[in-house]
Amino acid sequence: MEQAVLKYLKLLNIPVSKGYIEKLIASHPNNPSLLSVADTLERLGIPHVAVRVKQEDLEHIPFPYMLHFDKHGGELAFVKDQEDLKARESDFKHWNGVLLRAESTGAIVDKENHKHLSEEKFLKVTLGVFLGAVTVLLFLPSMQVLSWLYASLLISALGGTVTGYLLLAKELGISYRAVEAFCNTGTRANCDRILKSEDARLFGRITFSDAVIIYFAFQLVILGFLIPLLESAATVLLALAAMSLLALPVVIYSIWYQGVKAKTWCRLCLVVDGVLIIQLVLFGYMSSQGLIQPGKVDALLLLLFGALFLATGASVLLVKTELEKANRSRQAEVNANRIKNSPEVFLHQLQQSRRADITPFKHEIRVGNVEAPIQITMAANLFCHPCKVGFGKISQLVAIYPEKVCITFRLLTIGRGNGQRPAASRYLLAWWFYNIQGENKVSARTNDLIKDWYEIMNIIGFKKKYPIEDKLDDQAVEELESKHSEWMERQKINKTPTYFINGYELPGFYSIGDLTDLVPGLAESFSLIEKNERSFTVINYIE
């Protein structure tokens, strides 16, 4: 499902992070489902619509779009054009009539997406530099001993290493579309079945995939680095030829196992078998030409050969172990988030928290839609760094869900200040009262006012940007400041920031940033609760 969505968004030229999209969809409490995809698109600010249509009307709907099928627990199919639609005809017996279509946008409002996308681009550049450097290190020293035989061995070792990586990637759950298509094309082709069988485990924890990448990576080290530095490579070539000869029974068993016992083919395994056979032929030719002489053995060089093999094998296994740990941690996080991001679980936790009186003031400092189903009240201190961080997160919430979230600010008042340095809370309240409330674009301007304060966090600098004269001692401002102060005392606010969601204090198990995943389902739940409460009130009134 995640791969289909990524392919679709890529076609629309929407700048999304692959890892972030996968994480959002996989950690959704309703994954796999169309809702998990729709909520993810909403979070990213991507315009989309999910509708139910008839099959005969599909060809009249502009491409591309996605179809939802009731198989494998829920599957999304990307439909690029009429040819793709025809190719899906056999699947329409599983189609539930639901179509999802998104529109291209260059503006993703979720800042986390930009962060992950930047990291992925940096990783790609770093990986490209690494591969380029390794290529130079492999082939530059080899130029001095280059021949068609040597080049053939080096290329076969490189091909075997790449194939070994792809085998290991499949084992770790890392998928590539081209590889999946190569592995699964044909009636008797199934790489996963072969690689996940017990026979693919060779020695304890060491699998066939491990053995392949260790073997060929070791060859790359020998051919690319060691041989060009040696005056005589006879011992090394003899050792490589012996290893190639010992691999012949492995090739025979692999082909027998796939064709006779398993009755299915792993195409990547066949590539490995082919490379091993090619190498055996090359070493045989070298032996016939006298390039490999069994009598010439350097014991010290042979010891170095063995040490390099063990070092290569240990390095591969260590890297694989760390990748497996990372995969388990990521999966554990995804599973935990599916529970944590469930609106039902959050509501249960929320309703166990203490309740606060969030009755609106006559003049309330708000950001967002006043009628939004999710009302967040933030008790804040203007000189509190965690409040600055918290404001950034809830401001992002409103940017992502402008119609579903409203933020109300209650300010902690500290001191009265003096003529040159008035209290920050009073100054901000006065400027808001006389310059923003009752005017146009109240929400956006209020957001900018508080954002600028937290960027400056200094009354002198703030006065320069937001000057106001002779308004600080007005009775209206004093009353508003007193209301904020009295509310703080009544609610016994002993730390800032403190958040209340629709009157309930945010549970300690959650952070304000966690609401980003919860808003779509939570908004629906709060709307339903409000509707039921209204119905109950009407019934009681009638009775």
What's the confidence (pLDDT) of residue 203?
74
Contact (Cβ atoms closer than 8 angstroms) between residue 521 and residue 343: yes
Q: Say whether pLDDT at 543 is over 70.
A: no
Mean pLDDT of 300-326: 90
Decide if 465 is inside a domain.
yes
Instruction: Pick the last residue of a domain from 270, 298, 333.
Output: 333
Residue 504 sits at φ, ψ, to 5 deg, of -105, 140
Q: In sequence order, what are the beta bridge partners of 409? A: 378
Q: Are residues 264 and 370 in the same domain?
A: no
E strands, 206-259, are 206-207
What's the confidence (pLDDT) of residue 487?
93
Q: Are residues 302 and 154 in the same domain?
A: yes
Decide if 130 is inside a domain.
no
- Asked which of 383-387, 407-411, 525-529 is least confident by mean pLDDT, the reply is 525-529
Using alpha carbons, select from 153, 160, 313 the residue that is nearest to residue 233: 153
Mean predicted lDDT score pLDDT of the chain:
84
Decide if 126 is inside a domain.
no
Decide if 9 is inside a domain.
yes
pLDDT, one tens digit per residue, over 353-372 is 999 999 999 899 999 999 99
- Give the residue numbers spanning the domain of 287: 140-333
Q: Are residues 231 and 273 in the same domain?
A: yes
Q: Are residues 378 and 322 in the same domain?
A: no
Mean pLDDT of 329-337: 85
pLDDT, one tens digit per residue, over 44-81 is 888 888 888 887 777 788 888 888 887 666 677 788 88
Q: Are residues 318 and 408 in the same domain?
A: no
What's the confidence (pLDDT) of residue 536?
41
User: Residue 519: which CATH number?
Assistant: 3.40.30.10
- The pLDDT > 90 percentage for the chain reads 29
Q: Are residues 54 and 103 in the same domain?
A: yes
DSSP string computed for 339-378: HHT-HHHHHHHHTTS-B---PPPSS--EEE-TT-SEEEEE
pLDDT, one tens digit per residue, over 451-475 is 999 999 988 899 899 988 766 668 8
What's the confidence (pLDDT) of residue 540?
42
User: Residue 29: which CATH number?
Assistant: 3.90.70.10
What's the confidence (pLDDT) of residue 421?
44
- The first and second tokens of residue 513, run together, are 């940033």
How far apart CA 21 and CA 16 sit, in angstroms, is: 7
Decide if 116 is inside a domain.
no
Decide if 125 is inside a domain.
no
Instruction: Pick the last residue of a domain from 300, 333, 366.
Output: 333
What's the confidence (pLDDT) of residue 172?
83
Instruction: Pick the last residue of a domain from 96, 111, 126.
Output: 111
User: Residue 319: which CATH number?
Assistant: 1.20.1440
Q: Which range scores top for mean pLDDT: 172-186, 331-345, 388-402?
A: 388-402
Q: Say whether pLDDT at 483 is over 90.
A: yes
Per-residue confidence band for 418, with pLDDT thresholds at 50, 70 and 90: very low
Using CB atoms within 10 Å of the CB of residue 522, give its burial: 0 to 12 exposed, 13 to 18 middle, 19+ buried: buried
How far apart CA 450 and CA 382 sit, in angstroms, is: 9
Q: Are residues 520 and 428 in the same domain?
A: yes
Q: Are residues 325 and 389 in the same domain?
A: no
Decide if 339 is inside a domain.
no
Residue 115 sits at φ, ψ, to 5 deg, of -65, -50
Q: Are residues 363 and 328 in the same domain?
A: no
Q: Are residues 209 and 284 in the same domain?
A: yes
- Give the number of domains in the chain: 3
What's the confidence (pLDDT) of residue 541?
38
pLDDT, one tens digit per residue, over 81-127 is 888 778 777 777 777 788 888 888 877 888 888 899 899 899 989 98
Q: Are residues 49 and 198 in the same domain?
A: no
What's the confidence (pLDDT) of residue 187?
66
Per-residue confidence band for 419, with pLDDT thresholds at 50, 70 and 90: very low
Strands 504-505 and 498-501: what pairing? Answer: antiparallel
Decide if 368 is inside a domain.
yes
Q: Are residues 160 and 222 in the same domain?
A: yes
What is each CA distance from 170 to 162, 329, 372, in whole angstroms?
Answer: 13, 18, 46
Contact (Cβ atoms closer than 8 angstroms) between residue 343 and residue 527: no
Q: Say whether pLDDT at 141 is over 70.
A: no
pTM: 0.73
What's the confidence (pLDDT) of residue 109?
82
